[in-house]
Structure 1
Amino acid sequence: MERDPFVVVGGDAAGLSAASKFRRETNRDVVVFERGQWVSYAHCGLPYFVEGSVDRLTDLLSLSPSDIAERGIDLRRGHEVVAVDPAARTVTVDAGDERFDQPYSELLVATGARATTGDFDASLDGVFTIHGLDSAAALDAYLTAPDAYDPARLGDGPVDEARVTHNAALDPPTRAAIVGGGYVGVEMAEALTARGVAVHLFQRSGHVLQPFGAAVAERVEPHLTERGVTVHTDATVDRLVGDERIEAIVADGERFPVELAVLGVGVRPNTAVLDGTGVARGPNGAIRTDAYGRTSLPAVHAAGDVATARHAVTGTETWIPLGLTANRAGRAVGATVAGDPTPVGDVAGTAVVKAFEMECGRVGIVDEAAAADAGFDPVSETITAGSRSGYYPGGDETTVTLVADRTTGRVLGGAIAGRDRAAIRVDTLATAIEADLTVAELERLDLAYAPPFSPVWDPVLVAAKVVTGKL
């Protein structure tokens, strides 16, 4: 008897990674339901399209619908899964002109996350969240003078043409407010500056890039200022002002005239499809999963930005929405459903971000208070060392913060900032965390050395030496 298909809800990183791996391992049917029209795209590339570094919107696509079909995947765009019946093993699908129930043998929920807008009115013209290709296309059109807009920038994808046309007809902004100094905020500050817009960046806490720690912010904030961005920290944005189009924002009682506001205040997991099923939830309401991406419901998996994972340092449940973890978890679930049980892997929150010429990386637990809350006795040191041999041109000071546990010597986390290949050095720390290395073992790693690439003692090794001495 032929089994019901493996059903995937969501046609982006986790969902299509799962479907692709499943089809490589088995001849069984897999159906992917995607409520929108865009599939398999590089969300992290959106600021660079807005900036102009990416020529066409469709350059951000990883797989086209025809590529997906060639893999034997039944992709159905414009099909929204609105309910799941775990007992009957069916999903209810709204296809616009019809609604039907689709049986499944196993189900993967890979619905990702959505941008939040807080208490702000995001319906005003000139107010954007950077989440999805249509939002980037609309902002690109808004930034361009009506007589200069080039529709060829869109490529040939299923763009929301009405939204683009509306924004392309408006006069372009000269002043912008970015609400939130996280990844999106910092990247968009660079993108908008490149488009000739004066930028005010507002961050509610004491420094930008909060997960990277104060030492990184102390390198980034002056660099943003040097490049013309006005940085406001410890600043609360009270409201957006405007009738049909944004005219100003009010922060701590002060009015700032702007014609553009980018809201980068966070994301939340898209879990509504499992509402009413009694599925177990974890941090931020994300769907709780085990080591294999299985939820508390029979034959139902979750992966990507909608799901929890195990933290590599603390061993506890966490929710860290990042691109690699979504792709990796989806691939693992696809293998598991095909018959090869594969763990989704732990997450360490490894992340990098670019702020003009400044590169930043972070991994694990960077904040000492957070490490103490997790039960460790943290020791933290920040050092500055050259990125290359001092006599070789092109080097820059690299700042490294390294956090270890006093009791065990174990590496708990770290952060890096600098202008010469600094961000990629965080991978050494990520590997140390995954391997449960002590800081003394990290110090003894045989890292590559040649004057164009590194000094004899790489900045990561210098940090390890200093922390080892303190321990």
Structure 2
Amino acid sequence: MDPFVVVGGDAAGLSAASKCRRESDREVIVFEKGQWISYAHCGTPYFVEGSVDRLTDLLSLSPAEAEARGIDLRRGHEVVSVDAEDRTVTVRADGERFEQPYAELLVATGASAAAGPFDRSLDGVFSLHGLDDAAAIDAYLAAPDDYDPARLGDGPVDRDRVDHNAALEPPERAAIVGGGYVGVEMAEALSARGVDVHLYQRSAHLLTPFGAAVGERVESTLRDHGVTVHTDTEVDALVGDERVAALRIDGDERPVDVAILGVGIRPNTALLDGTGVDRGPSGAIKTDDYGRTSLPAVYAAGDVATARHAVTGAETWVPLGLTANRAGRAIGSTVAGDPTPVGDVAGTAVVKAFDLECGRVGLVDESAATDAGFDPVSETITAGSRSGYYPGNEETTVTLVADRTTGRVLGGSIVGRDRAAVRIDTLATAIEADLTVAELERLDLAYAPPFSPVWDPVLVAAKVVNGQLSE
């Protein structure tokens, strides 16, 4: 029997490979075009910040550990095409090509950072989408005499790129273009490295998917920590000869000496170009409940693939870490002989802005809920995170969205300084369980003064929305 072939050695790919090997004696080959495998992408801003001591602390699974699990891991091997009819892939390695047959194929090629209209060839211009990016930024921020190469650990880092950036004079003024996850997290990271940070967002609020209530508090917190926030401001171009020197905005130039681009990502689907595979939102590979594509015996998972939305039931593209790991694990079970659904996604996400915690899930935007066929009711409340008399009590703001017709919980967001982010899991569970607001209000959540008031902020929001539904 031909092997199970996996393209991509990160979250989805190695989760699938590991699960398949644990549950069967199938031969599993993983092709990874780069050298890094199985790393915590979401931890890279904290390495740049200095909270993570070494780059290799972000590795989840080493090549030796993967091979010990019986996985045939081949780094430096790029799969350049798929022949779905003959069930073969063409692989390029060491300047040569060869054909590899497969019985089943998983495309787990992830996504790449979008550059927008900006010139990334200039020194001082970075995206943050991988460990080599994090290493280069870290080196660029340090004075040449102060740079500590020991922070890299012993991984397969691009040493030439690191050495080039470490030799440059460190920046004093940063521009972050884009106010999403990367923008907010890197604003904190660069501030910790002593850089004057300016964050540019072309829409009215940062963290747009989290809603206005979260965006406003995040903007206030960033300003309180010395970050200059520019909303409703679109950056037209980066200016410089060899090194970035300025931003161009409406014809004016604003000096900077480092620019971080956080303008989004795009799925790496080129491998399946020409195969006729069905596509979904953002051009991601369309998959069914089991991660199968429209091509026979070809699966897709992670940032390259679509999933079903838990609220709308529609196909969606939500490139997040748990989604990738969970889908990969499910596909590994399916290939091993135990058909396992990959699960729906609700877009559950959390992010930190200095000491402020933010969470979101489901449909937060009322217009999106309306477009999905619901009659949304949305309320925003602010309540204490603990009993008012207990030390550490902080204001926690909850936005809750429900459907007027059915009472069903559609989504929500939470922001605050005291364990606000983990409270979003209550709303995520309510959505997965198809709870109504009345059922959410009746949940028996834990109470003790050090942890929560009698009425947790989530329950307060449910009471208020339920009152609206009863009118």
> Per the shorter chain, which TM-score range?
over 0.9
CA–CA separation in structure 2 for the residues paired with 1:28 and 1:236 = 52
Q: 80, 83, 108: which one pairs with 1:82? A: 80
> How many positions carry a matched residue from both structures?
469
- The CA distance in 1 between the partners of 2:436 and 2:419, in whole Å, is 25
By how many angstroms is 1:254 displaced? Answer: 3.1
Residue 310 in 1 paired to residue 308 in 2? yes
Aligned equivalents of 1:334, 1:388: Cα separation in 2? 43
* Structure 2 residue matching 1:237: 3-state secondary structure: coil
Q: Distance in 2 between matches of 1:47 and 1:254?
A: 30
- 2:58 maps to 60
The unaligned stretches of length 5 or more in structure 1 are none
Tell me the equivalent position of 2:265: 267
Q: What displacement does 1:97 show? A: 3.1
Aligned equivalent of 2:152: 154
Mapped partners of 1:230, 1:118: distance in 2: 22
1:18 aligns with 2:16: yes
SS in 2 for 1:389: coil
The C-alpha deviation readout for 1:249-278, integer Å capped at 9, x for no partner, is 122333211100000000000001101100
Q: Which string of whole-angstrom CA distances, capped at 9 and with x for unpartnered residues, describes residues 57-114 of structure 1?
A: 0000000000101100000000000000001100000012321000000000000000
AA partner of residue 98 (structure 2): F
Picking from 175, 180, 183, the partner of 1:182 is 180
Q: What one-letter code is carried by the residue in structure 1 that aligns with 2:313?
A: G
3-state DSSP class of the match of 1:452? coil
Does the aligned pair in 2 maintain the 1:235–1:252 contact within 8 Å? no
Per the alignment, residue 198 of structure 1 pairs with: 196
Determine whether 1:222 maps to 2:243: no
SS in 1 for 2:331: helix
SS in 1 for 2:81: strand
Q: Distance in 2 between matches of 1:219 and 1:179?
A: 19
- Aligned partner letter, 1:236: E
**Could you tell me how far apart the structure 2 residues matched to 1:455 and 1:252 are?**
49
SS in 1 for 2:350: strand
* TM-score normalised per structure 1: 0.99
Counterpart position of 2:453? 455
**Residue identity matched to 1:406:** R
Match of 1:379 in 2: 377
| Identical aligned residues as a percent | 81
The CA deviation string for residues 223-250 of structure 1, in whole angstroms up to 9 with x for no partner, is 1000000000010101101000000112
Distance in 2, matches of 1:340 and 1:399, equals 43
1:177-223 superposed Cα distances (whole Å, 9 cap, x missing partner): 00000000000000000000000000010000000000111211111
Name the amino acid aligned to 1:416: I
Structure 1 position 306, deviation (Å): 0.2
Specify the code of the residue in structure 2 equivalent to 1:156.
D
Structure 1 counterpart SS, 2:165: helix
User: Is 1:109 aligned with 2:107?
Assistant: yes
CA distance in 2, matches of 1:96, 1:244: 31
**1:397 alignment partner, one of 361, 375, 395:** 395
Q: What do the CA deviations read for 1:342-375 (whole angstroms, capped 9, x no partner)?
A: 0000000000000000000000000001100100
TM-score by length of 2: 0.99
Within the alignment, does 1:283 sit opposite 2:305 as a pair? no
For residues 351-390 of structure 1, what are the structure 2 equivalents within 5 Å? 351-390=349-388
For 1:470 and 1:138, the matched residues in 2 are separated by 52
CA distance in 2, matches of 1:327, 1:254: 45
SS of the aligned residue for 2:425 comes to helix
Deviation at 1:421, TM superposition (A): 0.3
CA RMSD of aligned residues (A): 0.5
Partner of 2:330: 332
Give structure 2 stretches of 5+ with no counterpart: none
Aligned partner letter, 1:296: S
- Taking the aligned partners of 1:71 and 1:451, their CA distance within structure 2 comes to 47
Partners of 2:319 and 2:259 lie apart in 1 by 24
Distance 1:298 1:44 in 2: 33
Cα distance per residue 1:395-418 (max 9 Å; x no partner): 100000000000000000000000
Distance, in Å, in 1 between the alignment partners of 2:14 and 2:271 is 18
